[in-house]
Amino acid sequence: MGQTQTGSDADKVSISVDVSKPGAKIDRNLFGQFAEHLGHGVYEGIWVGPDSNIPNTRGIRNDVVTALKALRVPNVRWPGGCFADEYHWRKGIGPQRMVTLNSNWGGVVEPNTFGTHEFMDFLDQIGAEAYLSVNVGSGTPQEAAEWLEYLTTSQATTLGKERAANGHPAPYKIAYLGIGNESWDCGGNMTPDYYVSQLKIYSRFVRNFNPAQQGQQQMLKIAVGPGGPEARFTEWTEAVMKAWQNHQWSWDMNGLSLHSYTVLHWDKKLASMGFGETEYSQVLKATLDMDGLIAKHSAIMDQYDPQKKIALVVDEWGGWYAPLPGTDPGFLVQQNSMRDAVLAALNLNIFVRHADRVRMSNIAQMINVLQAMIMTDKEKMVLTPTYYLYKMYVPFQDATFVPVAFNAGTYVNGNISLPRVDAIAAKDETGKLWLAITNLDPNKAIEIDANVAGTSGKSAVGETLTAPKVDSVNTFEAPRTVVPKSVSTTVRDGKVTLKLDPKSVTVISVQ
């Protein structure tokens, strides 16, 4: 990665940007989102219905759409998660919706008022692509195949005519297809071999008929991949990749999913607010394990796919904390603090450094669930620190990785030792250089001295995100506690000098 760390404790950090050695493209899909039928992720978070007093367009909240458009969300994974393996699409189309139960998440009533057409309308409103997760656990290949025919055929088949009668004559574009979800657990507790046989069948028969999605524009199929570093997951990656290496013309896949949450103890989760430096450093230490996890599974993938044709798709990740007191534990409601913005930056930086293999990620989850971008309460909406972090990282979408070398130093808290600084750089499509620098140290500011020789820029401008405390949050009452502030400086002798606040993330462009 062109990056070194030593035990030095310097308050000054030199960063050297090597614009002469551009690396992989940072796929915009690294900044994807995930919306499951879980708690208030979809209902209330996206969907309020056309008769709501909350301003909406065909039932979809306008405030949420406006906020998400600013993130240039590349894709949204839907309808789950565990929910996907119990979802039956026909219950969510047409004028009469079947009312069912959401047995995964709180056992609540699922009205199915947000179904296929509403999801596609939502994507259209925010300008994102569809990442559909089909039901392998309790559905059938026929059900999934018919869903895709319903969505994508341009011909006057019975299903195509039904879609037209339901308001959408033109075929929809489905860019990504997830074949099952956590099939080693909530998705059916399958063995690797059993899953591989299902994968082949779904890959073969669940076809995309959209004439605009043939050849180069084909829908990409994502297989269930590992959920951690344990032996059972390395065996899983081996089994799927080996099957793919020997695959026949009749089936294929383009991605392997990876799920990994930052959670210290599943049976005693940490609080999402009201914590101190100990929990801040513990969580950041744990989240950095993402790098080793990706390296481990990438190494297995390299054995079967040295040309890196199969993307590693980290389609569930983020901080997972204890439910907020007074909320339904099945709804996974938590607060989102400055710690989460730093956590998101560190993970996105890891994905960017692995951009040759990691070409898509979906943070869990977009609204009101786990590490959310947005939280809502009836007509109120608040943008989280993670939202602002994603907004600051927009320029990295589809930019080209540029290596950076730096001496990260060390931030020590008790028996926890972390790099003090993390940084990535990239060139956007216009040739502009972007730098994202994180100061993990919650106590000390750091002076950065970035050598950007080779660029013709005269100044560096951008934004910095910090907060009064590591556990500072935005609330409906105080929504601007953690918001980015402008920063600017001049480039002198090919160097950018910047002071980074404690616990901050700064994104600048050199121009």
Rule CB under 6 A: choose which of 125, 181, 203, 397 binds ligand AHR: 181
Rule CB under 6 A: choose which of 343, 364, 446, 487 binds ligand AHR: 364
Stretch that binds ligand AHR, among 207-215, 352-360, 364-372, 373-381 (CB under 6 A): 364-372
| Binding characters for ligand AHR, 300-319, by CB under 6 A (x = yes) | ----------------x---
Q: Between residues 330 and 502, which has the closer beta carbon with respect to ligand AHR? A: 330
Neighbouring C-alpha atoms within 13 Å toward the C-beta of 315: 34
Q: Are 505 and 498 contacting, i.e. CB atoms less than 8 angstroms apart?
A: no
Q: Least CB distance from residue 34 to ligand AHR, whole Å?
A: 7
The C-alpha R_g of the chain, in whole angstroms, comes to: 23
**Binding status of residue 178 toward ligand AHR by CB under 6 A:** no
Rule CB under 6 A: choose which of 110, 118, 149, 182 binds ligand AHR: 182
Q: Least CB distance from residue 369 to ligand AHR, whole Å?
A: 7
Q: CA-CA distance, 47 to 213, in Å (whole number)?
A: 29
Stretch that binds ligand AHR, among 180-188, 191-199, 351-359, 383-391 (CB under 6 A): 180-188
**Catalytic annotation on 182?**
yes
Q: Least CB distance from residue 364 to ligand AHR, whole Å?
A: 4
**What backbone phi and psi angles, to 5 degrees, belong to 454?**
105, -10
**Binding status of residue 208 toward ligand AHR by CB under 6 A:** no
Q: Least CB distance from residue 86 to ligand AHR, whole Å?
A: 11
Rule CB under 6 A: choose which of 32, 45, 79, 81 binds ligand AHR: 81
Could you tell me if residue 168 is left (phi over 0), alpha (psi between -120 and 50 degrees) or otherwise beta?
beta
8-state DSSP, 455: B
Q: Least CB distance from residue 241 to ligand AHR, whole Å?
A: 21
In 3-state terms, what secondary structure has residue 496? strand
Q: CA-CA distance, 487 to 493, in Å (whole number)?
A: 19
Q: Least CB distance from residue 381 to ligand AHR, whole Å?
A: 21
Partners of 438 in beta bridges: 422, 505
Q: CA-CA distance, 381 to 198, in Å (whole number)?
A: 41
Q: Is 378 exposed, middle or buried (0-12, 13-18, 19+ CB in 10 A)?
A: exposed
State which residue has the least CB distance to ligand AHR: 81
**Binding status of residue 36 toward ligand AHR by CB under 6 A:** yes
Q: Which of 36, 118, 149, 182 is the catalytic position?
A: 182
| Residue-wise DSSP of 68-134 | HHTTT--EEEES-SGGGGG--GGGGSSSSPPPEEETTTTTEEE---S-HHHHHHHHHHHT-EEEEEE
| Touching ligand AHR, residues 319-358 (CB under 6 A) | none
Q: Site for ligand AHR (CB under 6 A): how many residues?
A: 11
Residues that bind ligand AHR in the complex, under the rule CB under 6 A? 36, 80-82, 181-182, 186, 316, 364-365, 370
Residues carrying an active site annotation:
182, 316
